Amino acid sequence: MKELTGLFKNTNARFIKKSIESGSIVLGVKVENLAGVLVNNKDYAESLANKLSENLGVKGFISTDELPKYGISAEEKNAVESALDVKENDVGIFVVDKKEKAEKAIELINEEVKNYKQ
């Protein structure tokens, strides 16, 4: 789990900018050997997003596989991947929320992807 807030200080992604301005942070995690899964397996991605929403009130997550998008630039994507040490078969996943909720979201993501990979 790594804080990535500083990487988005000049972002054009309005939802990230507004969230940070209101006290939220950006937390991310590298998931090894999961590249492509969250964009190719929509049911799994939606299930994970629903668990974050229902269990924690977190609105969702973003994976580096789906970027650039949502106003997040290619440079920001590369910075996230670099900060998380994402390799070819890995994916970076991050959430934007208040610190405690973001930490719980990353923990839930870690647990869910561990179960998925088994």
- Coil, helix or strand at residue 118: coil
Mean pLDDT score, 56-80: 96
Give pLDDT, residue 107. Answer: 97
| Rounded CA separation 51/18 (Å) | 24
Contacts of 47 (CB under 8 A, 6+ apart): none
- Residue 82 clears pLDDT 60, i.e. is over it: yes
Residue 114 has a pLDDT of 85
- Expressed in angstroms, the distance from the first to the final Cα of the chain is 21
Cα distance between residue 88 and residue 70, in whole Å = 23
- Read off the pLDDT band of 115 (50, 70, 90): confident
Strand 2-3 versus strand 25-31 pairing type? antiparallel
- Token code pair at residue 2: 């790594």
Q: What is the pLDDT of residue 34?
A: 93
| pLDDT at residue 104, as a whole number | 97
Task: Provide the pLDDT for residue 118.
Answer: 55
Q: Given CA atoms 56, 18, 86, 69 in this order, what sign does their dihedral have?
A: positive
**Structural domain spans, the chain:** 2-117
- What does the pLDDT read at residue 97? 97
Q: How confident is the model at residue 116 (pLDDT cuts 50, 70, 90)?
A: confident
CATH architecture entry for 2-117? 2-Layer Sandwich (3.30)
Mean per-residue pLDDT, 82-95? 97
